[in-house]
Amino acid sequence: MMNETVKVDRRDAKLALAYIYVAFIALALGGLAGLLQTLVRSGKFQLPAGISYYTILTTHGTLLGLVLTTFFIIGFQFAAISRTSGTLSDRVRFWGWVGFWMMTVGTTTTVFFILTGQASVLYTFYAPLQAHPGFYLGLTLLVVGSWISGFATFAHYARWKKEHPGKASPLLTFMAVTNMVLWLVCTLGVAATVLIQLLPWSLGIVDRVNVLVSRTLFWYFGHPLVYFWLLPAYMVWYVAIPKIIGGKIFSDSLARLAFILFLFFSIPVGFHHQLLEPGITPFWKYVQVVLTFMVVIPSLMTAFAMFATFEAYGRSKGATGLFGWLRKLPWGDARFFAPFVGMLFFIPAGAGGIINASHQMDQVVHNTIWVTGHFHLTVATTVVLTFFGAAYWLVPHLSGRVMTKAMNRLAIIQTVVWAVGMSFMSGSMHFAGLLGAPRRSAFSTYGNSPQALEWIPYQIAQAVGGTILFIGIILVLVIITNLAFFAPKGETEFPVAEAAEPQERAALAMDNWKLWIGITVALILVAYTVPFIDMIQNAPPGSKGYKLW
């Protein structure tokens, strides 16, 4: 049904690869920063030449949380729409390149100001910490560049629709479009705080900033951001994994519905990051927590669909018993194994998210390193392992090469190394967090307080995990470099599975963007209008900027 263009056009491949290369460069630099952080926090190592822990921490969060993800996702999505909806037009490809260069210049600018110690404000750049204006300007270019790529994606989708009246769009294209709609709507929040509040404030045009408004606008963006990371992983799970194992997509309509539910519920939930902040009434926190529990549903649907895909395939191969199908899965294929380990980790990771979202329990873990543990399981394991697994076919597909058996074996080892390293690091972060260890802070014994001394063994375990993870980064960089430049020439498949029931009629009705965007906007207005007016009407005088480094 969706195999109209089997091979991504060479010119589109070049565009997608450009994005993916930047993503892996970000991984190398950001990963090094991560290693240094865990070593510093163990208390056994100090950064040389007066380099600040917070400079390294900002580099790490920005490069891995904001740059690696955004570049990989946009590169992957350009390849995905070219593969499933046909070669990009010259105009779409041109704008794809404009977006790429804007994002790259923006990233370079931002990283320059971080590395020169002028923007140690962490990846969330919370006011009243104040960075050099260049930091905000770079981020603006990064976001505006991504918008341009988003509109290029929409233009490609619109052309496909025009050429195929009355037909449902290819599933992968539909998913990429949903993710870009989500991105466009949510980045309006971060654009507003940066352009209206933080940039004029850092330039000295205004003296004070409304901290609560700026954090609220940040989290209006910051929570959907995590689903912008997650949805491409789900694209791989729903569409590529069934093909890789030799099965079918459990349900095309269920997959589309899950994506639309993410669009609805991922944005009006930012308050669950602000549950302990004053200035937002408990009622509105409650409303957004209810909506947070709604956004869990599409992940549960995805878990169901994945189990169904695996089981249906296993049984078609003669598996019996409750879990006999597990034995039929292709464990030796890194394209399957890496994302599968990502799925496994998402079970405890998602449970942790549900704990965070529960107001009373969040009081125990908020601002502790538990939360850092949570997002290293979600984004740094589930999402990233899926991206690695996808890169094992995507990069050779785009570079016209094939993965050798030796590289496949290395990729399996890489996945195991990652799982072990992350279990150490994230596991000990969770435990230390429960004992009260703070996040976003360098090593300290807090005057040898007994409580702080309890954390040290966990911090050493974090450094052990961090070191193992760094080995994992080196391995994946070796594999990707091989697949991009040195592997034998040949044809690698871009796996796109077919739906088990290709005649499902619901799919066409799912292309109803006016309705989906209308519901999304309505939910946002319900969740944010009253508390936002309240924040502005009852605003305190605002804060001057602080540079604490």
User: Contact between 240 and ligand HAS (CB under 6 A)?
Assistant: no
Q: Pick one of 155, 188, 191, 303: the residue that binds ligand HAS (CB under 6 A).
A: 303
Write out the two tokens for 488: 């034998």
Is-cis flag, bond preceding 457, omega within 30? Answer: no
Residue nearest to ligand HAS (CB): 350
Q: How far is CA 142 from CA 23, 190, 394, in A?
A: 13, 12, 24
Q: Pick one of 257, 296, 364, 413: the residue that binds ligand HAS (CB under 6 A).
A: 296
The one catalytic residue among 123, 375, 470, 494: 375
User: Contact between 69 and ligand HAS (CB under 6 A)?
Assistant: no
Q: Pick one of 253, 292, 414, 462: the residue that binds ligand HAS (CB under 6 A).
A: 292
Which residues inside 116-135 make contact with ligand HAS, applying CB under 6 A? 124
The whole-angstrom separation of Cα 26 and Cα 61 is 11
60 is catalytic: no
Distance of alpha carbon 539 from the chain centroid: 33
Shortest Å distance, C-beta 230 to ligand HAS: 4
User: Contact between 241 and ligand HAS (CB under 6 A)?
Assistant: no
The whole-angstrom separation of Cα 485 and Cα 480 is 8
Write out the two tokens for 306: 């994945």
The whole-angstrom separation of Cα 16 and Cα 8 is 10
375 is catalytic: yes
Going by C-alpha positions, the residue among 23, 1, 160, 6 that lies closest to residue 484 is: 23
223 is catalytic: yes
User: Contact between 146 and ligand HAS (CB under 6 A)?
Assistant: no
The one catalytic residue among 272, 366, 374, 430: 374
Q: Which amino acid is at 334?
A: A
374 is catalytic: yes
User: Contact between 294 and ligand HAS (CB under 6 A)?
Assistant: no
**Site map (CB under 6 A) of ligand HAS, residues 354-393, x = contact:** x-xx----x--xx----x--xx--xx---x----------
Q: Pick one of 144, 344, 412, 435: the residue that binds ligand HAS (CB under 6 A).
A: 344
Q: Pick one of 78, 113, 346, 393: the residue that binds ligand HAS (CB under 6 A).
A: 346
Interacting span for ligand HAS (CB under 6 A) from 239-247, 301-309, 474-482, 507-515? 301-309
Shortest Å distance, C-beta 151 to ligand HAS: 24
Q: Pick one of 110, 302, 459, 482: the residue that binds ligand HAS (CB under 6 A).
A: 302
- Dihedral through CA 68, CA 71, CA 72, CA 76, nearest 10? 170
User: Contact between 226 and ligand HAS (CB under 6 A)?
Assistant: yes
Query: Treating both helix axes as pointing N-terminal to C-terminal, what angle do 252-265 and 171-192 enclose, rounded to 10 degrees?
Result: 10
Q: Which amino acid is at 134?
A: G
Shortest Å distance, C-beta 55 to ligand HAS: 17
431 is catalytic: no
User: Contact between 307 and ligand HAS (CB under 6 A)?
Assistant: yes
Going by C-alpha positions, the residue among 485, 426, 307 that lies closest to residue 38 is: 426
Instruction: Indicate the residue among 371 and 398 with the shorter CB distance to ligand HAS.
Output: 371
DSSP at 368: B
Q: Judged by CB under 6 A, how many residues of this single chain contact ligand HAS?
A: 34
The whole-angstrom separation of Cα 11 and Cα 336 is 28
Q: How many Cβ atoms sit within 10 Å of the Cβ of residue 321?
A: 9
Query: Treating both helix axes as pointing N-terminal to C-terminal, what angle do 69-85 and 10-41 enclose, rounded to 10 degrees?
Result: 160
User: Contact between 353 and ligand HAS (CB under 6 A)?
Assistant: yes
Instruction: Indicate the residue among 122 and 143 with the shorter CB distance to ligand HAS.
Output: 122
Going by C-alpha positions, the residue among 57, 84, 88 that lies closest to residue 156 is: 88
Q: Pick one of 350, 421, 433, 472: the residue that binds ligand HAS (CB under 6 A).
A: 350
The one catalytic residue among 439, 494, 528, 532: 439
Shortest Å distance, C-beta 124 to ligand HAS: 5
Q: How many Cβ atoms sit within 10 Å of the Cβ of residue 538?
A: 9
Query: Residue 152 burial by CB count (10 A; 0-12/13-18/19+): exposed, middle or buried?
Result: buried
Q: Are 369 and 438 in contact (CB under 8 A)?
A: yes
Q: How many Cβ atoms sit within 10 Å of the Cβ of residue 91?
A: 12
User: Contact between 312 and ligand HAS (CB under 6 A)?
Assistant: no
Q: How far is CA 269 from CA 60, 181, 376, 427, 476, in A?
A: 26, 17, 21, 26, 34
Shortest Å distance, C-beta 27 to ligand HAS: 16
What residues act catalytically?
Answer: 223, 227, 374-376, 439-440
Residues that bind ligand HAS (CB under 6 A): 124, 226, 229-230, 272-273, 292, 295-296, 299-300, 302-303, 306-307, 326, 343-344, 346-347, 350, 353-354, 356-357, 362, 365-366, 371, 374-375, 378-379, 383
